[in-house]
Structure 1
Amino acid sequence: MADALLRLLAWLSPSFPIGGYTYSHGVEQAVEAGFVRDRASLAGWVAFILEHGAGRSDAVLFAAVHRAVEAGDEASFVRALERADVLRGSREMALESSAQGTAFLSTVAAAWPLPGLDRWQAVIAAERRAPAHAVAVALCAALAGIPLSAALAGFLHSVAANLVSAGVRLVPLGQTDGQRALAALEPVAARVAAWAETASPDDFGSRAPMVDWTSMTHETQYTRLFRS
């Protein structure tokens, strides 16, 4: 179990080379528009993404992929792969997810050659789809024997941490306020993870139109630090 924990920590670390620091998931435009302006509004914005936006939908997909890989169910895996690929609110969100997913699988394959990974990479290649970040992490977690509960909670925490880090740089906020925001998001990530662990693929979906709007508007924002 210690080996699995160490591996999960490595894969979800900000230093893992997937370029996560270059994406803000619309937070940059949310700051520009005045929706995010301090620690409380940043924590509230990220909490909404976790509970109602991409955090919710990715959590359902993560659980579906993890179960499919454990069961060797390629058909269910492909369905999750397709949903993750097509149901994104904007071009930038699609890039954010697929670029990180592709980089994640490539790095894991190079540094942690997991038994069975070649099989699932072949399934992905046959579908001609770039894997979403949630799909890639869930696939590798299942192959590594990392329990769904730990892997899912860790994934959602890493999503929150990346968005908080973007907010700290954009508002800007102090590093301590960033950690306070992240601490406030712990129960939110835990709650969404616990719900998604037993959710059905039919529960997939999101209801965060303002987050989608900030992402689409970000595409034409005059000055930008982030890719999304």
Structure 2
Amino acid sequence: MAMTDTAAEGFQERQALLRLMAWLSPAFPVGGFSYSAGLESAVTEGHLRDGDALEAWLGVVLSDGGLRNDAILLCEAHRLQQDGQPLEDLLSLAAALAGSAERYGEITRLGEAFVKAAAAWPHPVIRHLTGTVTYSVAVGAVAAAHGVKRADAVAAFLHAQVSHYVSVAIRLGVIGQTRGLAIVAAAETPILAAAAELCRLSLDDLGSATIIADTLSLRHEIQYSRLFQS
């Protein structure tokens, strides 16, 4: 029996949701567990000593730092893909915005691994994501190609990033799992608010005011002992 238009639309939306869940799952083979985006240095140098400090730190990078920029780049990639526009210039810009060698390595390795893994869902967009591919741009373009709504993609991406940073803090012994879950739960409202706001912004709105976090990412390159690659 053929599906009605409404049923077909519902199926496609649920299919897009399942794919988004798979792509941003910790089990998706991009190697994200190897990176901390400078968080390890923040812990080592005493900036993050407990859950309250971590929660405040995440709030700042979401509202004024790297997470905000990543979300704007994701939105732009989503728009370009939907409009059938090339991604090369955006990929170059996203790579140039990396604040340190480690950060550059992180976002490009994650991006290239994401594209390779996402090829399990065949789509022509994969052919346009070659060479130096940044993670946020890859997620945005692939999400658009598979019919994932922009706001959903941004919210899921930010949630995955926050959850990852919480996992980093747990592995570094800053917090336990219970406190980590509480931080993830508390992050829902600011993530949803950020997703709604950032989808309306453009590349002109890129910018960061998290100097300490950016500096710590640089300092991690010469840190004597470390668990993470960034």
Q: Tell me the amino acid that sits aligned with residue 94 of structure 2.
A: A
Deviations 1:133-183 (A, max 9, x none): 101101110110101010111011111111111011113321111111111
Q: Which residue of 1 aligns with 2:5?
A: none
Asked if 1:9 is matched to 2:21, the reply is yes
Asked if the contact 2:48/2:174 (under 8 Å) is kept, the reply is no
User: TM-score normalized by structure 2?
Assistant: 0.91
Distance of 2:218 and 2:93 partners within structure 1: 20
Q: Which residue of 2 aligns with 1:172?
A: 174
Q: Which piece of structure 1 moves more, 63-72 or 199-208? A: 199-208
Q: Which runs of 4+ in 1 moved over 4 A?
A: none
Shift, 1:117, TM fit = 2.0
| Alignment match of 2:135 (pick from 113, 133, 136) | 133
Query: What is the DSSP-based 3-state SS (H/G/I as helix, E as strand, rest coil) of the residue aligned with 2:222?
Result: coil
Q: Which residue of 1 aligns with 2:161?
A: 159
Distance of 2:158 and 2:199 partners within structure 1: 12
Shift, 1:79, TM fit = 2.6
Shift, 1:119, TM fit = 4.0
| Alignment match of 2:71 (pick from 53, 56, 59) | 59
Q: Which residue of 2 aligns with 1:92?
A: 102
User: TM-score normalized by structure 1?
Assistant: 0.92
Asked if the contact 1:38/1:171 (under 8 Å) is kept, the reply is no
Q: What stretches of structure 2 of length at least 5 have no aligned partner? A: 1-12
Q: What stretches of structure 1 of length at least 5 have no aligned partner? A: none
Shift, 1:222, TM fit = 1.3
Asked if 1:31 is matched to 2:31, the reply is no
Q: Which residue of 1 aligns with 2:191?
A: 189
Distance of 1:85 and 1:57 partners within structure 2: 12
Query: What is the DSSP-based 3-state SS (H/G/I as helix, E as strand, rest coil) of the residue aligned with 1:224?
Result: coil
| Alignment match of 1:212 (pick from 211, 214, 228) | 214
Shift, 1:72, TM fit = 0.3
Distance of 2:32 and 2:175 partners within structure 1: 19
Query: What is the DSSP-based 3-state SS (H/G/I as helix, E as strand, rest coil) of the residue aligned with 1:198?
Result: coil
Shift, 1:118, TM fit = 4.2
Query: What is the DSSP-based 3-state SS (H/G/I as helix, E as strand, rest coil) of the residue aligned with 1:17?
Result: coil
Q: Tell me the amino acid that sits aligned with residue 192 of structure 2.
A: A
Shift, 1:81, TM fit = 1.2
Greater Rg over alpha carbons, structure: 2
Query: What is the DSSP-based 3-state SS (H/G/I as helix, E as strand, rest coil) of the residue aligned with 1:191?
Result: helix
Deviations 1:62-87 (A, max 9, x none): 1111000000011xx33321110101
Identity score, percent: 40
Q: Tell me the amino acid that sits aligned with residue 104 of structure 2.
A: A
